[in-house]
Structure 1
Amino acid sequence: MHTLWPSLRHSRQNRAGSPELVTLYDARADVPVSTYVSMFSAAKQEISVVVYAAVFLHEAYPRLNDLLRERAADGVTVRIAVGDPDSENIAARGREERFGHGIETRCRLAAMHYQPLVGVPGIEVRAHSTTLYNSIYRADDQMLVNAHAWGVNAYAAPVWHLKRAGTAGIFDTYATSFAAIWKSAVPVREED
């Protein structure tokens, strides 16, 4: 039998046993908040987050800003990129998820949560207007990737827990994605 996409089929078979995959969660809502907290607490070099809003972190763990300040004080580089609520991509996402202006409102709420971190040494907060295919939560060589699906709210979409196991793997694919979004994002200014 002729295989239409032989390299793709082979790739899927190889990836099924990826040494970088720690856990696959059916939905972001299934990931314990303690997983995020543990990852961020253990970071020695880098915490990088790109989301549209992810206000669930502040709601479930009100000490998040304190934790990020503590990590930055210990020399960890902290980079947070939240969605620009005025972006057309965010408005489109709201329509696609049948969430209306809710996602724009959540982006504004996320910006309010992270505003106290603007200007803190070692922490940088930016706003991005990209089409966000995945939310990324990275702490050194561990990463949670919330894989967004069209028309599905982020809390119901799957999450991959990855751990770097070399270079040029799945982990680095998402690290490169984060770097590109970060480069295009605009620094958030301190409020007067």
Structure 2
Amino acid sequence: MANERLRDALERARVSPAELALLTECDVKTVSRWLGGRVPHPRTRFKIAKRLKEDEDYLWPGAGRAATDATDSTGMVQFYPTRGSVPPYLWDRLLDGATAEIGILVYVGMFLTEKPDLLDRLRRKASAGTRVRLLLGDRDSDVVKQRSIDEGIGQETISAKIDHANAFFRPLRAVQNVEVRSHSTVLYNSIYRFDNEMLVNPHVYGKTAPMAPAMHLRKTGSYGLFDTYAGSFEAVWDASTQQEGRA
């Protein structure tokens, strides 16, 4: 199976197969084999990952297994058993690295507000030309109230949390390149997009979002999970409602 992650990393770093061959003291045919799915030796993997500024485990997940199992093109970078186990530095890296697109699809997303400088960071991103789209739940919708019941926290709890989230994000409504909308869709997943990477939090019946799994996804050269969830975000966006009022 072709190593789409390695191919994409070479393109992002603007490193040609010939340059990679020189770096690793191999011939171009060997590089072609790596792009075709063959796994380099450990010392070579380290050298390549360092040059491309990528995680070795991302370029060759499961490198200790047979080469045919080494990678796939789904775009899965890492799976986390709970959203709470996603390391804080990853959220910061993804947010700081975004230059074109930040998209957040949640009912509440209040855990994000624990970052004291979040609003300022989003303002700076928007001022630099980054498109910022926030989708919050419609606090009066039946689906929001049902989700609150399903999570066992009372019918109005999530609605109250949405009120807090709206109050927190309200100052951003007056910022150019930022748009905040409400949606009343059944939220199967919370989605946090940062350019060509995203964190997806699939929801589990009877569990709150922090206790449900999370996936770190990256866009690849072929259609993968990133594209699936990016399409889902756009479908909700198209069905959403512009929030009334400006700060």
Structure with more of its chain in helix, by fraction: 2
Q: State the structure with bigger RCO (CA 8 A, min sep 6), 1 or 2.
A: 1
2:117 paired with 1:63: yes
Q: Is the 8 A contact 1:135 1:147 kept in 2?
A: yes
Normalising by structure 1, what TM-score?
0.88
**SS of 2:174 mapped into structure 1:** coil
Partner of residue 114, structure 1? 169
2:214 paired with 1:159: yes
**SS of 1:35 mapped into structure 2:** helix
Residue correspondences, number: 177
Structure with more of its chain in strand, by fraction: 1
**Percent of aligned pairs sharing the same letter:** 40
Partner of residue 72, structure 1? 126
Residues 97, 124 of structure 1: alpha-carbon distance in 2 compared, 3 angstrom cutoff: same
Normalising by structure 2, what TM-score?
0.69
Shift of 1:119: 2.1
Give, in whole Å, the separation in 2 of the partners of 1:167 and 1:18.
7
What is the aligned-residue RMSD (CA, Å)? 1.6
Counterpart of 1:158 in structure 2: which amino acid? Answer: P
After superposition, give the CA deviation of every residue in 1:94-119 in whole Å (9 maximum; x if it has no partner): 11110112211111111111111002
Partner of residue 51, structure 1? 106
Partner of residue 194, structure 2? 139
Which 4+ runs in 1 deviate beyond 4 A?
Answer: 16-19
Q: Is the 8 A contact 1:118 1:189 kept in 2?
A: no
Give, in whole Å, the separation in 1 of the partners of 2:133 and 2:246.
18
Shift of 1:166: 2.1
Structure ID, larger Rg: 2
**SS of 2:192 mapped into structure 1:** strand
Q: Is the 8 A contact 1:49 1:81 kept in 2?
A: yes
Partner of residue 76, structure 2? 21
Counterpart of 2:89 in structure 1: which amino acid? Answer: S
Give, in whole Å, the separation in 2 of the partners of 1:123 and 1:158.
28
**SS of 1:121 mapped into structure 2:** coil
Instruction: Please say which of residues 102-111 and 43-52 is displaced more in the overlay.
Output: 102-111
1:22-37 aligned at under 5 Å gives the runs: 22-37=77-92
Partner of residue 42, structure 1? 97
Give, in whole Å, the separation in 2 of the partners of 1:31 and 1:97.
21
After superposition, give the CA deviation of every residue in 1:115-147 in whole Å (9 maximum; x if it has no partner): 110021010000111100000000000000001
Q: Which consecutive unaligned segments of at least 5 residues does structure 2 have? A: 1-68
**SS of 2:90 mapped into structure 1:** helix
Shift of 1:19: 4.7
